[in-house]
Amino acid sequence: MGGPGDPPEGTPEGGPGGGEDEYRSVVFDESFVRAARLQEYSARERMTDHAPAVRRRPPLHRGLSRQALILVLLIAVAFGTAIYMGVRHPYQSSVARRPVEPLRMTVIPLTPQGKVPGKADAEYLYAHSPAAQFRVGAEGIPLPATRRTAHFSESQVVAALTTAKDYIVRSALYPEVIGSQDVRAVRVMLDGAQLDQFDQSLARPTADGRHQPTGWLVRFDQTRAELADRRIRVQGSMEATETDSATLEVTADHTFVYALKPTGSSAKAPASLFTVRREMHFRFDRDDLRLHQAQVVVSYVQAGPLSCAEDSTNHFHPLLAGQTARSGGPAGTDPYATGGATALCGTLAAGAQPKV
């Protein structure tokens, strides 16, 4: 009779010298055991006639089912398509845009009736001129009270007014623009459809009511004049209205007063005042509001003291303290008044000059 470790019939003849030696090379690691698909029936199940000793276990389902895999692929394809369309056609508007009109501009030089008043103290000139109560810089361009319109929210109306103000500040108060050094700060504010007109105005200035740089911005001939005081005086008003369900318009009317002196002169050189009245109409669709850009559709400018004999298309060539105009205009025009001028060259009203 065999020992407790031997088979009932004893050790097979001709086999290796012991049961342990026969199976010593077989290793049943954990992965092998888990992968086995045979499972022994219970004792009760084996009591049934002709029941097999073991039954085959159902295969383990690893990973995602076919349906789940297909769903994941569909989601990935849809997500990738959305990203592609967003990159290929960003911010595509569902409503057709209204055609962008070119800027229509009028620039009227105002010639003085006598010598241009001057004083070394720019503050004195301001205090004794109609600009005495004007605010300094952007403070003179406050936003009006706002409310929503039929098709635009209050925040959209505020965005239109803010963008218009930003354009006005950049085009009339930035030193690099005023000094004819750089216009990029203004250019980036324009609707893309107006960039060609703007670029043509700077490259080939023409007094045709479409391509005058001084209709887009305020800038002086830097070989003639420079700021004597960077605290430019400003006063005016703004108003926003809805013209249709897709368009907001902003009307701005401001007067700017600059203290100028000859380029390169000393701080004690006499300064004089130069006045620019600008009436501007801006138009905004929803794309413009989102991009913080504006369509400038009308620009009406009166500026002086200037000589009507000199071309003010590209730059303003201001008459400085003590200078007189070589030719005059047909009638006196006051840029501080609300009425519009009717001539292409006007005479600067005596009341618009400081009293020295």
Residue 213 CA to residue 168 CA, distance in Å, equals 14
Per the structure block, which two tokens stand in for 31? 């992965």
100-121 pLDDT per residue, tens: 999 999 999 999 989 999 999 9
262-310 pLDDT per residue, tens: 999 988 899 999 999 999 999 999 999 999 999 999 999 999 999 988 8
Q: Is the pLDDT of residue 223 over 90?
A: yes
Cβ burial of 187 (10 Å; 0-12, 13-18, 19+) is middle
| Mean pLDDT rounded to a whole number for the chain | 83
Residue 142 CA to residue 145 CA, distance in Å, equals 10
Residue 296 CA to residue 181 CA, distance in Å, equals 22
Give whole-number Cα distances, 76 to 43, 72, 212, in Å: 51, 6, 53
Give the number of C-alpha atoms closer than 13 A to the C-alpha of residue 62, restricted to the C-beta side: 3
Per the structure block, which two tokens stand in for 145? 């009270």
The DSSP secondary structure of 167-180, one letter per residue, reads: HHHHHHT-HHHHTT
Q: How confident is the model at residue 341, as a pLDDT?
A: 46
Nearest Cα neighbor of 282 from 313, 338, 239 is 239
24-61 pLDDT per residue, tens: 555 555 655 555 555 555 666 656 655 555 555 555 55
Full-model pTM: 0.71
Per the structure block, which two tokens stand in for 53? 């000793």
